[in-house]
Amino acid sequence: MEGVDHLAHERSKAQFDVDQMKVVWVGSRHALQVSDRIARLVASDPVLRKDNRTMMTRKELFKNTLRKAAHGWKRINELRLSEEEASWFRHYVDQPAYTDLHWGMFVPFIKGSGTEEQQKKWLPLAYKMQIIGCYAQTELGHGSNVQGLETTATFDPKTDEFVLNSPTLTSSKWWPGGLGKAATHAVAFARLITDGKDHGVNGFIVQLRSLDDHLPLPGITVGDIGMKFGNGAYNSMDNGVLRFDNVRIPRDQMLMRVAQVTREGKYVQSNVPRQLLYGTMVFVRQTIVSDASTALSRAVCIATRYSAVRRQFGSENGGVETQVIDYKTQQSRLFPLLASAYAFRFVGEWLKWLYTDVTQKLQANDFATLPEAHACTAGLKSLTTSATADAIEECRKLCGGHGYLTNSGLPELFAVYVPACTYEGDNVVLLLQVARFLMKTVSQLPSGKKPVGTTSYMGRAEHLIQCRCNVQKVEDWLKPSVILEAFEARAIRMSIACAQDLSKFSNQEEGL
């Protein structure tokens, strides 16, 4: 019905303070004001338009993304935006992959794994983007199994250099964003070899391209791996392939905070615990969980608005048809997704707190909470990304045939989001890591060792196994303590049952 604002009618029926809910979502009234102002600024800039993305060729799409990124940085400087304002600006602008990997992986890893001298050398260049970095870990033959990486870095004591090689086809670095076209440098992972001995995988800062003409340096084979799933989406990103052919780098470009190689070629473990490296991983995964709430909220917003505008069936005597959102079947599919978007938002904020807490404890050489932090970030990364990918597809179906159109925004949103189920740890592999953590916690219960943090409920295993739900009426389910105990009872019973099943195997890995 042309001229009828169905959204205004629906909003007027809200039984809560919408403005206050906005504050809760963003975090503070100040943050809401800043984000709203910057969103309007970006939306009014014709250079930053998004409506033509799916009509572009791959080359046009990549160039357009680079142009918008450059324009964005120019506007940030022209308007003298604060760091907070600039952060929101980048949030609303399509950023090419090199900025994501540069700021999200390259810089944090140098911070976490580089010595003070290395940080002083490389970070100022990275902050000014005089160099553009990427994170080259995954290979064609190995992703989650980092210990299986095949690239080698062999120390040559005669020249005080490492020689990097890609000995097999499967040792080719494969997938890193920013690698295909943009990156000048990489944190590359390789097997550290000194005097014929393999010391396992370590990170190295490697220059890939000339800073003068951007051409690959001698011994470097690098390029884009081609089109990915969907129109637009990840095709604006230059995921790349990289091979080394006897590439020599100075010894001091090995990231040496945790382990060093001396001038004589001796491998030395530092007194800095290797567990500190997990801080970067926790940071990346908590960011992914926060991103899940953003992607899911966008999909739910589209589907909810469509459901309020779309009318189908139910008309009587030639009257208007029923709004789709009023059908119980539509509500039962849509509203749980809306609730999940809020849940993922809040758990993302909790993970930020956890990251800060773990980082502070790691710096004080307190590693007690690290296993729990690893399990929480691995489990929540897997849960939220799988649920969000499925939810975006469900939102597409909730919009009927219109959801299949690219201009609905849902096909591209799905295509750009679904890789999250794979990168930074395949979701099934991550869930197995959580399972191992839970099985270890269960095995320690008979010893009297009290579980802590998110597993502290397991210390009440005897009560939770025997307790029964005492809910008498529907209103009882509004009590958080009732819901929490139900989840705790279910979790401990499933964990113990799983542990009992695994005990039947001579090797637990066979049961997984």
CA torsion through residues 145, 296, 50, 103, sign: negative
Place of tokens 């190295």: 204
Element containing residue 207 per DSSP (H, E)? strand 197-207
φ, ψ for residue 190, nearest 5 deg = -150, 160
For residues 439 and 499, is the Cβ–Cβ distance under 8 A?
A: yes
Largest CA distance in the chain: 93
3 state SS of 224: strand
Which residues fall within 8 angstroms of residue 73, CB to CB, at 6 or more apart?
A: none
Which residues fall within 8 angstroms of residue 164, CB to CB, at 6 or more apart?
A: 151, 152, 153, 188, 190, 204, 206, 244, 246, 247, 248, 249
Place of tokens 């009992």: 500
**Residue of 424, 485, 488, 509 with catalytic role:** 424
**Active-site residue flag, 150:** no
Which residues fall within 8 angstroms of residue 10, CB to CB, at 6 or more apart?
A: 308, 325
What are the CA-CA distances from residue 219 to residues 124, 349, 489 (Å)?
A: 27, 44, 58
CA torsion through residues 343, 349, 352, 358, sign: negative
> Would you please indicate which residues are annotated as catalytic (active-site) residues?
424
